[in-house]
Copies of this chain bind each other. A is one copy, B any other.
């Protein structure tokens, strides 16, 4: 299940991407448009800024803006930043790999085999979808 954090994050990004280039969008404005708790959204945008997708300007007239072209913001990156692993099981995760404590042999594991396929198909979608495709 996708967390609300990720869901809100993607929605916020599309809001910002729809903005004319060079203009700012404020937390309050996004929160109202998308029915998101202001404070919660604040923490989400902070994470996105730290990850390098968003820039922010403080003070009066400040707000958030995209640092990259919308075409360059891949969904894989956004989801990994906000949600964590894309794989359904740590032992098939590319970026967050972890061995299972049960399972002496990964290659013999039915779940492993199955989840690699699921992961590859999901990655295929997420890698080829950018923010530009969503606005």
Q: Is the CB of A110 within 8 A of B134?
A: yes
Copies of this subunit: 2
Total interface residues on A, CB under 8 Å, equals 32
Task: Indicate whether A81 reaches chain B with its CB closer than 8 angstroms.
Answer: no
Task: Indicate whether A135 reaches chain B with its CB closer than 8 angstroms.
Answer: yes
Q: Is the CB of A109 within 8 A of B1?
A: no
Residue of A109, A111, A126, A129 with highest tally of chain B CB at under 10 A: A111
Q: Is the CB of B121 within 8 A of A89?
A: no
A interface, CB within 8 angstroms of B: 1-2, 7, 10-11, 14, 34-36, 75, 85, 88-89, 101-103, 109-111, 113-115, 117-118, 121-122, 124-126, 129, 134-135
